[in-house]
Structure formats: structure tokens, C-alpha cells
């Protein structure tokens, strides 16, 4: 069986048909829509009856171009690129999942699929990819990179997103090993890509040996005796000689450091590393560990800002704990990606809207990014018992639409609403929202009312053309629990966002000690389709590599110096270190630093 991302397709076996298809595509005038492509494919069927996929055509072009003298790969691939929105934000997101493992939480709404890490379901798209590789981080990362490549996307700049249960509850040796193997996959990508383009074989060690599909028992939300933790723990110990962790799933800090340093100059560089955890798992030691792993963003399951709702749902922490966690993470420079859930047990539509308002009214919260997950009932969740006896009910579709419409209007322009639903198949949901395009429906409802969201995602320039000379630099300044935040943004005359920078100016010393008195750049992001490392945007089409990042950093330095800061730090990702070095930043133990001119501070 072919492993995900590494096809057994051999372009040279179909050379005659592929050459005819490629020549026809290159000769076609104007845009090549699916209907025009379909007509070409029908004239040159695969194996006499089937149709070649776009990824197979792209692989054929790459494998045969030297023999046939074809040039202009970028333009050819752009005409066939599948799902261009995937990389339209400027990076290629690669999501990988950790293996199933006992979770410290007891949330009544949480799904409990023993084949998956806690809260995930086996039929979610990302979970299916993880299961194909049996949660091996190397295979997941490399497989996803190859899929992007075969579909015509660049993967020079990768946002590596590690999901699955509560990251902080996994053993530290496993954490180091998991991240190390992800980096090693990024570092190996270029060599594997060449082999894959020629129809080569997968590298050794592609999949881990533990198959969690072998767990025969399943969790029933109505049965309190068959818990997720009990079943997963028993399975792991039975398969691994009484241990929860396999001996080979370990790496030292030196192993990780070596992989990170290699990635600084790799063809596929990690420009952001995202880890997820719970508020009650965050303390100073955890913040330092996350940073040593290379993390730049933390996804935090807040779920609610009402202590009563948290208690009723057995969340295991209170709102004060959430505030402490966000304060520590913000002080350390991390981007803050919060999860929030309407329709929890004990809430109602009016309380949800007020709860959502507190996300941005409270200076201790104010996230940079947000996922909104309306509570859906899954049969493995304990919430089943509350549904059966009438203590909890899902909102009616119109109720939920009203809640989300009102909430989306409350999101300030500095926050990005990443998504509004989970990718849960409809037939897995016992009761609750099954609408897959819920955000689209909410935005349509707002448009009907003459309103629109102004969050970051709604304003991204993406693939729209723009005039670089018409951009204006604006600043949104707001208070946080540690000081003042400056959201610097380049926007077009019609308010489309081409790039932004998050600058934190702490009012008092923060942890870690390395940045106790530093101004902190928490994020720099320039939009537009992914442009290759070292390439320049052309024709005003791409915001990347037009110098917007440098100009944003110069403005941040000016503002920090004007407030008396002597040092400007940045929470750089491994793959962006060289970029910051070229701008005058020097490496520190966990951050990069640039001294600020004394004259500018006067």
C-alpha cells in the first residue's frame, strides 16, 4: 500500500499520455478551469480508461521536463495548483498528531476515541493522516510536505502545528523525540522529494509499530466505567512491556538542538512551531520547556470565562488559572491561540455572547488568534448522560447562527478567528451543529445585515493584487496584563491586510530572565502566496519579500527605543533565525536580541 504523500505513481510509464497532456496545457490560452482541463484529460486517458490527477500531471512535468526541454515550472504548476488557499497566508501549515495517551482532564464534553489522542476522532481528516503513519512524527511531517509538493505548493516556509490531547502531560523525553523527528523530516525533505519525483521508494523507518486501531474496546459516554485513560493505559502497557512510553521514543536536548541548527538552512524551514496545552499545565518551568523545544505559538483551551460553567463541565481549572497562564505565555513572547466553546453545559445564548465579550474586554485575555468550537455531542463523551436526562440541549441552528454572528462582530482587528467548527464528520455527531460551512453562513448573515467581520482572517490580502505604493502603516495600541501591545499593520486603501507585527512593551520585568527588561516582537507575518526563500515578489502581486517585514521591525525598534527599552528581543522560530541575524539580531539562549540606539531613546 502507498503511504500518504509517497505515491507509487511512475511518470515514465505514462510518458506518452503525460507529454500530450502537458503540451496541451502549456499551449492553452487564458485561465485553465476544471472543464477545460477535463476535456484535455478525456483525450488522453490513464491506462485507457481513467483520468490523471493534477498531482500526477505535476509529477510528470517535473520528472520529464529535462528530457522534453520544458521550462517555466512555476507558471505551469500555478495553473494546476490544488487548493491555493492552503498557502495563501504566506506559510505552508503542516499539522501532526501525538499518539493516544492518558489525559489529565475530565471534561464532560470531550470525545474519547481510544484510537486517537484525547478529544480527537479517527475520521477527522488530520487524524486519518496521523493514523496512516501510526502517529510517527517523521512520517506525518514528510508525508504532508510531499502532498503539498505534489499538489504544486511551495514548502520553503512551514508552520508546524502539533496537536493531540494535552502536550504538557506527555513525558518530556517523548516531547523532545517528537519535535526532533519533525525537524529531521523537514531537513530530509529535499532529498526525499527528488526520490519521490522519480517514483522512488519511501525512506526506512517511515511508520511506527504501534497500531492503535488494535484497541478493540470503545468508550461509551453513558458508561462511566469504560474511561479513555483506563483503556489507553492498559493497551500501551500491554504492547510495551508494562511501560507507557517506548524506549526508542526519546531524544536528548542535544539531539533536538542538532536538528534545529540543521533546519536553519534547510530547504523546508520551520518558521513557526505551535503546541497546545491547558491553562493548569502552564507555569514558569513549562514556559521554558516550550521555548527550548522551539515553540513560538501556544494553543490554549480556555473554553469559557465563567467559573460556574467551567465547574459544571469539570474543566479542572478556573478563570484565574487561565489569566495566569496567558500572562506567563504573553510575557515569554508566545503568540496566544485560544479555544472557546459556546453551548457548553450550564450556559445559554445570552451568557455565551457576554462570555465572548470578556475575551477582549479583559486585558488579561485578549488573544491573538481564536478557534470557536460550538459544543457538539459525540457518543463517547460523558455529556451523553446530560443529554439523555434533559440537562443539556444543543442550540437550534438559528440560535447558534445568532450567537456566532454577534460574537464575530466583537472580534477586534488584531485577532484572527482561525476557524468556527471542528472537522467532525456529521454522522459522528449525535446532536448539535452539522453545518460544515458555518463561518460562510455567519458571514453571509452579517452581510445581509450590512455588517462584516474585521478580524485578521477576513482582512488578509491573500492572492489579491495590490499597489505597494498605496499601503499605509497603522498601529492599534491596547493594554494587556503585562503592559502595552502595539499591533503594527500594513493595509491597503480598502483595509486589506498585507503584513503585521505584534510588539509587546512590558510595564515590569517578565520571565524568562533573558528577556526580563526587553521589548518583545511576538510575531511578524507578511501575507501573499508562499514565495521561495530569497525570491522577490513580482508585479505587486505578493506582499512577501517586498521589504514589509523589515519596515515593520524598524518601526517596532523605533517605538521600543522611544519608550526607553535598551533591547529588542524576538521569539524567532528556528527557520527564521538567519533572517533576524541579517537585521542585526544576535542569538541568545532562547531568543534573539538587537540593542537599541541610545540616541533613539532620548
pLDDT in tens, 202-214: 554 455 557 788 8
What CA–CA distance (Å, rounded) separates 240 from 247?
Answer: 9
pLDDT at 589: 97
Peptide bond connecting 56 to the previous residue in cis, omega within 30 degrees of 0: no
pLDDT in tens, 33-42: 888 888 888 8
Average pLDDT over residues 486-511: 97
The three cell numbers locating residue 496: 486589506
pLDDT in tens, 76-132: 877 776 555 555 566 899 999 999 999 999 999 999 999 999 999 999 988 999 998
Residue 452 neighbours by CB distance under 10 Å: 13
Judged on CB neighbours under 10 Å (0-12, 13-18, 19+), 392 is: buried
pLDDT in tens, 277-305: 999 999 999 999 999 999 999 999 999 99
pLDDT at 201: 54
pLDDT at 458: 96
Count of helix runs (H) and strand runs (E) in the chain: 20, 16
Q: How confident is the model at residue 545 (pLDDT cuts 50, 70, 90)?
A: low
> Following DSSP, what letter does each residue of 530-548 receive, concatenated?
---TT----TT--STTSSH
Q: Which of 25, 94, 36 is nearest to 61 (CA)?
A: 25
* Radius of gyration in angstroms for the set of CA atoms belonging to the chain, rounded to a whole number: 25
Do residues 179 and 293 make contact, with C-beta atoms less than 8 angstroms apart? yes
For residue 507, the 8-state DSSP code is: S
What CA–CA distance (Å, rounded) separates 48 from 462?
Answer: 39
pLDDT at 75: 78
Pairing relation of β-strands 567-570 and 519-526?
parallel
Do residues 185 and 142 make contact, with C-beta atoms less than 8 angstroms apart? yes
> Following DSSP, what letter does each residue of 544-584 receive, concatenated?
TTSSHHHHHHHHHHHHHHHTT-SEEEE---GGGHHHHHHTT
pLDDT in tens, 456-486: 999 999 878 899 999 999 999 999 999 999 9
pLDDT in tens, 305-345: 999 999 999 999 999 999 999 999 999 999 999 999 999 99
Residue 2 neighbours by CB distance under 10 Å: 10
518 membership: H or E segment, kind and range: none
pLDDT at 60: 83
288: left (phi over 0), alpha (psi -120 to 50) or beta: alpha
pLDDT at 90: 67
Average pLDDT over residues 512-520: 97
Average pLDDT over residues 180-194: 93
- pLDDT of 414 > 80? The answer is yes
What CA–CA distance (Å, rounded) separates 8 from 461?
Answer: 37
Do residues 293 and 256 make contact, with C-beta atoms less than 8 angstroms apart? yes
Q: Say which residues have a Cβ less than 8 Å from residue 86's Cβ, sequence separation at least 6.
A: 92, 93, 148, 153
Average pLDDT over residues 139-150: 91
Q: How confident is the model at residue 21 (pLDDT cuts 50, 70, 90)?
A: confident
**Which three-class secondary structure state does DSSP give residue 223?**
coil
Do residues 452 and 443 make contact, with C-beta atoms less than 8 angstroms apart? yes
What CA–CA distance (Å, rounded) separates 188 from 393?
Answer: 49
Do residues 81 and 151 make contact, with C-beta atoms less than 8 angstroms apart? yes
Residue 104 neighbours by CB distance under 10 Å: 14
pLDDT in tens, 354-410: 999 999 999 999 999 999 999 999 999 999 999 999 999 999 999 999 999 999 999
What CA–CA distance (Å, rounded) separates 276 from 299?
Answer: 4
The three cell numbers locating residue 74: 512555476
What CA–CA distance (Å, rounded) separates 89 from 433?
Answer: 28
| Structural domains of the chain, with CATH | 11-80 (no CATH), 95-274 (no CATH), 278-459 (3.20.20.70), 462-601 (3.40.630.30)
Amino acid at each position: 500500500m502507498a503511504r500518504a504523500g509517497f505515491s507509487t505513481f511512475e511518470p515514465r510509464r505514462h510518458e506518452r499520455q503525460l507529454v500530450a497532456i502537458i503540451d496541451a496545457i502549456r499551449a492553452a490560452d487564458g485561465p485553465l478551469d476544471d472543464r477545460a482541463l477535463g476535456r484535455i484529460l478525456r483525450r488522453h486517458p490513464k491506462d485507457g480508461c481513467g483520468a490523471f490527477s493534477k498531482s500526477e500531471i505535476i509529477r510528470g512535468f517535473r520528472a520529464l521536463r529535462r528530457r522534453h526541454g520544458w521550462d517555466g515550472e512555476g507558471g505551469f504548476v500555478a495553473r494546476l495548483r490544488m487548493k491555493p488557499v492552503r498557502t495563501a497566508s504566506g506559510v505552508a501549515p503542516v499539522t501532526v498528531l501525538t499518539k493516544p495517551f492518558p489525559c489529565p482532564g475530565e471534561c464532560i464534553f470531550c470525545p474519547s476515541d481510544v484510537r486517537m489522542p484525547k478529544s480527537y476522532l479517527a475520521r477527522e481528516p488530520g487524524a486519518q493522516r496521523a493514523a496512516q503513519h501510526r502517529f510517527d512524527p517523521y512520517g506525518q511531517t514528510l508525508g504532508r510536505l510531499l502532498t503539498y509538493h505534489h499538489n504544486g505548493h511551495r514548502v520553503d516556509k512551514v508552520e508546524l502545528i502539533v496537536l493531540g490531547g494535552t502536550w504538557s502531560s506527555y513525558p518530556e523525553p517523548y516531547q523532545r523525540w517528537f519535535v526532533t523527528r519533525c525537524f529531521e523530516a523537514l531537513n530530509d525533505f529535499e532529498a526525499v522529494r527528488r526520490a519521490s519525483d522519480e517514483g522512488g521508494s519511501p525512506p526506512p523507518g517511515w511508520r511506527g509499530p504501534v497500531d492503535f486501531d488494535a484497541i478493540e474496546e470503545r468508550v461509551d459516554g453513558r458508561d462511566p466505567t469504560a474511561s479513555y485513560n483506563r483503556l489507553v493505559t492498559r493497551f500501551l502497557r500491554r504492547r510495551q512491556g508494562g511501560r507507557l512510553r517506548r524506549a526508542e521514543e526519546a531524544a536528548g536536548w542535544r539531539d533536538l538542538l542538532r536538528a534545529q541548527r540543521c533546519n536553519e538552512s534547510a530547504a523546508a524551514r520551520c518558521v513557526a512551531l505551535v503546541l497546545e496545552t491547558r491553562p493548569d499545565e502552564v507555569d514558569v518551568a513549562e514556559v521554558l520547556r516550550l521555548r527550548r523545544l522551539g515553540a513560538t505559538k501556544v494553543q490554549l483551551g480556555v473554553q469559557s470565562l465563567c467559573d460556574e460553567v467551567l465547574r459544571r463541565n469539570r474543566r479542572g481549572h478556573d478563570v484565574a488559572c487561565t489569566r495566569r497562564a496567558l500572562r506567563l505565555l504573553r510575557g515569554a513572547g508566545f503568540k496566544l491561540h485560544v479555544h472557546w466553546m459556546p453551548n457548553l453545559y450550564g450556559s445559554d445564548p445570552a451568557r455565551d455572547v457576554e462570555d465572548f465579550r470578556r475575551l477582549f474586554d479583559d486585558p488579561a485575555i485578549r488573544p491573538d488568534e481564536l478557534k470557536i468550537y460550538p459544543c457538539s455531542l459525540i457518543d463517547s463523551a460523558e455529556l451523553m448522560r446530560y443529554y439523555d436526562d434533559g440537562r443539556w440541549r444543543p442550540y437550534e441552528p438559528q440560535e447558534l447562527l445568532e450567537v456566532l454572528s454577534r460574537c464575530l462582530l466583537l472580534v477586534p482587528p488584531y485577532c484572527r478567528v482561525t476557524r468556527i467548527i471542528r472537522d467532525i464528520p456529521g454522522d459522528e455527531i449525535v446532536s448539535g451543529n452539522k453545518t460544515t460551512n458555518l463561518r460562510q453562513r455567519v458571514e453571509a448573515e452579517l452581510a445581509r445585515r450590512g455588517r462584516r467581520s474585521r478580524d485578521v482572517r477576513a482582512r488578509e490580502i491573500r492572492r489579491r493584487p495590490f499597489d505597494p505604493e498605496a499601503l499605509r502603516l497603522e498601529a492599534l495600541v491596547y493594554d494587556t496584563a503585562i503592559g502595552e501591545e502595539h499591533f503594527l499593520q500594513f493595509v491597503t486603501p480598502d483595509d486589506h491586510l498585507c503584513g503585521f507585527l505584534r510588539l509587546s512593551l512590558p510595564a515590569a520585568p517578565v520571565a524568562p530572565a533573558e528577556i526580563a527588561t526587553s521589548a518583545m516582537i511576538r510575531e511578524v507575518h507578511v501575507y501573499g502566496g508562499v514565495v521561495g526563500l530569497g525570491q522577490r515578489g513580482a508585479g505587486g502581486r505578493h506582499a512577501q519579500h517586498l521589504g514589509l517585514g523589515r519596515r515593520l521591525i524598524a518601526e517596532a525598534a523605533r517605538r521600543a527605543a522611544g519608550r526607553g527599552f535598551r533591547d529588542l528581543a524576538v521569539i524567532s522560530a528556528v527557520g527564521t533565525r538567519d533572517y533576524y541575524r541579517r537585521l542585526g539580531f544576535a542569538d541568545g539562549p532562547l531568543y534573539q536580541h538587537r540593542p537599541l540606539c541610545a540616541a533613539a531613546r532620548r
